Structure 1
Amino acid sequence: MADSTLSRQTFLRLGGALGGALAATGMVAGGASAAPRPRVPAPRASGGPLLEGGEFPIGIFWPPPPYQTTVDRYRQIVDAGFTYVHSNNYLFADWQIQQHALRIADQVGLKVLVDDDDLRWITRNFRISDDGGPFTLTRDEAETLVRQIVNRYAPTRYWRLRDGRLLFDGGTGDGSIGWALDGADWTDYVFEFTATPLPTGAGGYAQAGWAFRVQDERNAYVWIIGDRDTGGGNGNLTRAIFVDGAPQVTTVQLPFPIEPDTAYRVRTEVVGTTITTSVDGVVVDTVEDATYASGSVGFREAGSESALFDDVVVTAADGTVLLTEDFSGDLSAWRTPGGGGFESYAGLHVFDEPGVDKLPDLGVLLDIIRTVDPDNLPYVNHLPGFDYAAAVEHLDPEVLSFDRYPILESGEDGGFFANWAAVRAAALPQDIPTWAYIQSVGYTAHAVPDKDDLYWQINVALAYGCKGIQYFTYWTPDPARGEDFHEALIQPDGRKTPLYAASAEVNNDYLAPIGRQLLPLTSTAVQAANLAQVPDGLAAFEPDDEIAATSGDGLVLGRFDGPDDARYVLVVNHSRHEQAHAALTWGSAVTGVATYDPKKDRWADQRPGDLAVRLKPGRATLVRLTR
């Protein structure tokens, strides 16, 4: 750890929030402990933007150091086709530095897996158990600390989908509006929806707000129904006309109560300057106002207010349906409100290369992170040759990630294929995506890779069903570390090496597009064809009704099922040094063949007969078979 004093100080600041709980756990002196309780695994997290966005994750380890964490440097990362970074290289030394990196990443569209120093301190110094003991945190204490860590980085999301409805849960003190991306030019229309005010907020009141003719978050009409009694035991309708964030407010008594947890069908019609509102078919208000003549529709809550919304329909004056939304899918049609944090935050880099004995504690910690932060990725990476089955058993990870660097000065690491086979065998039955690091730096006994080596490592990984590629390293670690790292993509002084241009080609022209094709596919086999000696970790090709025969130079065949009932074959040149000329003869079950062109991002049907392939070193072609 780069600065243990800082880590302890920061951790103790966190610990102070526990009100002396660390002493009670036996850190200072043995004392009474909470009764043990069994671990209840939390469901896997969604994986957040790195798993849900439809783009193939391409990451870097060892980004620019703190003094080089600038917009220009991060744009270089984006230009080279990377989608996210691990925030190490001393960025972890201080959470303010982490936030600086996240602000930079926000500006250029990168995602960040945060390597937090306080989380490092927890994982390296404490057990997590309710059975007590020295240097032990209870699960509740660990959750308190994790929540504080996550709250430094995670974006505040007031909108969430719950059981096919929109939950608008809280807002800023001034109020927050989310609105449809379409509609800036809508003029006269009817805005209908179902609203369920929830009993949250100071004083226990419940209310639900909606917005129309929205210009932006500070300029819109906002109408609100609520249960605050304005006399006679009935609810109220509040009209707020926001101009530059300042509202003109009028409250109207409704002819009936508004009950918490009760759904109401709301209809607001805007025609010219006339605004008419109905609730459950009863016209409750008509008013004239000319502040805004056009704009979109949305919803609004403030502070701790909360409501559910559903079944949105917007209809133009001529009857044209402008918008429908039942919240059964996602929120991509809406500008959702936020209240701080960083959109670039993608999750926590929890641990790199743990031992097997560390897995039980990490399993508990990952459960805690999923409970606190279910929308992002809790990430752990594993050693080469690790017990990956144990990692799956204890962690039930969102991704199974590992590193093994095969480009040696003396040739290739003979265990590379077998290592991949072990990772695949552990992950595939549990439907866990596999991620891998590829070598992009020279160091002790390891050669500096070239472009062919990048292609070869990536294509071998893809053949085994890999769903995410990470480069080790991006920035060359400083020679002062004494580890003999040299010539990664960027030199220690900031100069680009030839590997930077190579990675930009590989990522942009090949990996990103072919990765999108491969993400939804399921690996069914990884085979060696035309090789006199089959490496450990590869099965020897055997003819079947899809591929009847192969000939020519050595190939690795990654075979896949697709969601469209088609079958796929990634045909990889086994050599990273020599071109491969080979042919595949199709079996009796194949009725059509197409090949994928990553540069053009399109499929091309092939003529009947054998498929001849000419592959440069390390290259591959993706084939789709119709049965």
Structure 2
Amino acid sequence: MTDDARLGTTMSRRWLFRAAGVGAAALAAPAVASATPRPAVTPAATPLQLGNVCSSTPLFTDTRFPIGAFWPPPPSASTAANYADMAGAGFTFFVTGNYQLDPQSIDYALGFADQNNLKALVATDPSVKAVGEMFTIDDSHSGPLTISTADARALVQQATARYARHTSFAGFSLYDEPDLLGSRNASLGKATQIVHEMAPSAMAYTNLSYALEVDYAKTLSNFVSQVAPPLISFDYYPLRRDGEATNFFQCWAQVRQAGLASGLPTWTYIQTLSSGLLKEPTAADLAWQVNVSLAYGCKGIQYFTYWTPDPGRGEGFGPALIDLNGTKTVRYGYAQTLNNTWLAPVGKELLPLVSESVVHANESTQTPGTTPFSPDGYLTSVSGTVVVGRFRSPNSAVKDRWVFVANRSNTAAANVTLNTNTSTVHGIGKFDPSKGSYTAQSGSQITVSLPAGGAALYQLSAS
């Protein structure tokens, strides 16, 4: 059987952590407790992005672009220095996990998060797992392993009371990768509502996987309507040993559309390590995953994983940003540079903007699920093989537009020229991440050389 067949065209954490394919039978099966927890983050404070979460939620009121770490230091390595390293690499939050399975170890980790201006989503507290994963909330008790709404409220209240004193506490990760046919949606919807009622400033987060075996657009629509989540988060890892996953951009296009239709921010995960099927990412690979996601309107980037998973789990992962001994790998340096010098400043700039269009220009073979470039009121032509995302202000009266240009390749540089429509555009500014401001460009043409995986952001002054 080929790698793609074993994957079932799915590259999800549940598959990876269980070393088993996600086939139709598995998708249809009742959801069970996930083998691992996972992170989540959220965008800036505009009505479009707040979704179903109170505006006091820390991951919304934080003006930084959400950069999350999945699989933090284990309890044996929960030290001030290790959490300072996480913050130093540009991470703004993490999801509890990596054997932080009891309230004491979670509380201890949140103490270090407090000291380092990190936010935390609690996924592994026993009360949280009971409400989100292990039991179904059903007052009729018509099925096995059910709890009442009153019991669920009491459990959420208990969990909130344990961690509310921490400035880092940002909410709960209720479930990582529920089955895509939606058997958990009704219960997750109740759990989400209970969290937002019992702890109005806490986020109730759920992350989805991806699979071609289901109608993914319908899956997303049902999830949004039945769960009422604060955002749409998904994981799908495109960097295979045998090349790029052909349906990666199709997945992103469907997530983007679901986010725009519901007014919810969209988040994703990027891969930091190798496995039997995944390649070990280069610096350009990390940048490429980040930048094409930003072009598609992503409002939160999460890293899978931060700490390297224990080989005793049996998944065969290579080293992540931090190896099993707690030593920084070369990818820690890649992420530190990427996060601090590019993602944090450009992400903050994009955070309040609304994705208006995303096109792929000059591909020799059009990537499935994508839209090819065609001239419009802002750009008349594009040379170079790039992904171009256009953004607008949330204030529809603003005529200016922002153009994010991402290299389509993670292995080769791209020389790019974009000609603007002079009847609409009367000025161009290039974003300087070191200054957090725009530098005026002369003429009506944008020319830029993008390194492998690289990107650039421009503001078009328009009338």
Same fold (TM over 0.5): yes
2:330 aligned partner: 498
Is contact 1:47-1:398 (8 Å) kept?
A: no
Kindly indicate whether residue 76 of structure 2 is the aligned counterpart of residue 79 of structure 1: no
The separation in 1 between residues aligned to 2:444 and 2:54, in whole angstroms, is 46
1:604 aligned partner: 439
Kindly indicate whether residue 421 of structure 2 is the aligned counterpart of residue 584 of structure 1: no
Query: Shift of the alpha carbon at 1:480?
Result: 1.3
Runs of 5+ consecutive residues of structure 1 not aligned to the other structure:
1-41, 155-340
The normalised TM-score by structure 2 is 0.84
- For residues 506-557 of structure 1, the C-alpha deviation after alignment (integer angstroms, 9 at most, x for no partner) is 0000000001100010001110111122212321111012101112x20100
- For residues 375-399 of structure 1, the C-alpha deviation after alignment (integer angstroms, 9 at most, x for no partner) is 1211110002352222111112111
Q: 2:195 aligns with which of 361, 369, 377?
A: 369
The separation in 2 between residues aligned to 1:43 and 1:568, in whole angstroms, is 27
Specify whether residues 47 and 559 from structure 1 end up closer, same or farther in structure 2 by C-alpha distance, changes over 3 A only: farther
The separation in 1 between residues aligned to 2:418 and 2:135, in whole angstroms, is 55
Kindly indicate whether residue 298 of structure 2 is the aligned counterpart of residue 466 of structure 1: yes
1:556 is aligned with what amino acid? V
1:107 aligned partner: 115
The separation in 2 between residues aligned to 1:492 and 1:70, in whole angstroms, is 15
Is contact 1:46-1:376 (8 Å) kept?
A: no
Q: 1:349 aligns with which of 167, 173, 179?
A: 173
The separation in 1 between residues aligned to 2:52 and 2:258, in whole angstroms, is 19
Is contact 1:459-1:618 (8 Å) kept?
A: yes
Q: 1:59 aligns with which of 60, 68, 71?
A: 68
Kindly indicate whether residue 340 of structure 2 is the aligned counterpart of residue 516 of structure 1: no
2:36 aligned partner: none
The separation in 1 between residues aligned to 2:271 and 2:230, in whole angstroms, is 23
Is contact 1:382-1:403 (8 Å) kept?
A: yes
Is contact 1:47-1:377 (8 Å) kept?
A: no
Query: Shift of the alpha carbon at 1:47?
Result: 6.6
The normalised TM-score by structure 1 is 0.62
- For residues 180-214 of structure 1, the C-alpha deviation after alignment (integer angstroms, 9 at most, x for no partner) is xxxxxxxxxxxxxxxxxxxxxxxxxxxxxxxxxxx
- For residues 317-339 of structure 1, the C-alpha deviation after alignment (integer angstroms, 9 at most, x for no partner) is xxxxxxxxxxxxxxxxxxxxxxx
- For residues 83-112 of structure 1, the C-alpha deviation after alignment (integer angstroms, 9 at most, x for no partner) is 011111011x11111100111111121111
2:390 aligned partner: 559
Is contact 1:529-1:540 (8 Å) kept?
A: yes
Specify whether residues 43 and 466 from structure 1 end up closer, same or farther in structure 2 by C-alpha distance, changes over 3 A only: closer
2:44 aligned partner: none
Aligned residue pairs, count: 398
The separation in 2 between residues aligned to 1:117 and 1:90, in whole angstroms, is 12
2:79 aligned partner: 70
Highest RCO, 1 vs 2 (Cα 8 Å, sep ≥ 6): 2
Is contact 1:65-1:89 (8 Å) kept?
A: yes
2:104 is aligned with what amino acid? Q
The alignment partner of 1:347 has SS state of strand
Is contact 2:208-2:233 (8 Å) kept?
A: yes
Query: Shift of the alpha carbon at 1:122?
Result: 3.2
Any residues of structure 2 matched to 1:193-342 within 5 Å, and which?
341-342=165-166
Is contact 2:131-2:174 (8 Å) kept?
A: no
Is contact 1:45-1:398 (8 Å) kept?
A: no
2:85 is aligned with what amino acid? Q
Query: Shift of the alpha carbon at 1:132?
Result: 2.8
Kindly indicate whether residue 270 of structure 2 is the aligned counterpart of residue 444 of structure 1: no
The separation in 2 between residues aligned to 1:611 and 1:535, in whole angstroms, is 25
1:615 aligned partner: 450
- For residues 138-171 of structure 1, the C-alpha deviation after alignment (integer angstroms, 9 at most, x for no partner) is 21221111111111111xxxxxxxxxxxxxxxxx
Runs of 4+ in 1 over 6 A off after TM superposition: none
Specify whether residues 412 and 575 from structure 1 end up closer, same or farther in structure 2 by C-alpha distance, changes over 3 A only: same
Is contact 2:131-2:156 (8 Å) kept?
A: no
Query: Shift of the alpha carbon at 1:43?
Result: 5.0
2:409 aligned partner: 575
Is contact 2:52-2:229 (8 Å) kept?
A: no
Query: Shift of the alpha carbon at 1:135?
Result: 2.7
Kindly indicate whether residue 98 of structure 2 is the aligned counterpart of residue 98 of structure 1: no
1:569 is aligned with what amino acid? V
The alignment partner of 2:59 has SS state of helix
1:626 is aligned with what amino acid? S
The separation in 1 between residues aligned to 2:127 and 2:369, in whole angstroms, is 39
Per residue, is there more strand in 1 or in 2?
1
2:461 aligned partner: 626
The alignment partner of 1:357 has SS state of coil
The alignment partner of 1:622 has SS state of strand
Per residue, is there more helix in 1 or in 2?
2
The separation in 2 between residues aligned to 1:481 and 1:415, in whole angstroms, is 29
The separation in 2 between residues aligned to 1:408 and 1:599, in whole angstroms, is 33
Is contact 2:127-2:156 (8 Å) kept?
A: no
1:535 aligned partner: 367
The separation in 2 between residues aligned to 1:604 and 1:547, in whole angstroms, is 19
Specify whether residues 43 and 491 from structure 1 end up closer, same or farther in structure 2 by C-alpha distance, changes over 3 A only: closer
- For residues 207-258 of structure 1, the C-alpha deviation after alignment (integer angstroms, 9 at most, x for no partner) is xxxxxxxxxxxxxxxxxxxxxxxxxxxxxxxxxxxxxxxxxxxxxxxxxxxx
The separation in 2 between residues aligned to 1:511 and 1:99, in whole angstroms, is 29
Kindly indicate whether residue 163 of structure 2 is the aligned counterpart of residue 153 of structure 1: yes
1:345 is aligned with what amino acid? F
The alignment partner of 1:488 has SS state of coil
2:8 aligned partner: none
Is contact 2:52-2:230 (8 Å) kept?
A: no
The alignment partner of 1:371 has SS state of helix
1:136 aligned partner: 146
The separation in 2 between residues aligned to 1:481 and 1:565, in whole angstroms, is 53
Query: Shift of the alpha carbon at 1:124?
Result: 3.0
- For residues 555-588 of structure 1, the C-alpha deviation after alignment (integer angstroms, 9 at most, x for no partner) is 1001111245410110110000000002011112
1:235 aligned partner: none
2:233 is aligned with what amino acid? S
Any residues of structure 2 matched to 1:377-526 within 5 Å, and which?
377-385=203-211, 386=216, 387-526=219-358
2:163 is aligned with what amino acid? Y
The alignment partner of 1:578 has SS state of coil
Q: CA RMSD of the aligned region, Å?
A: 1.4
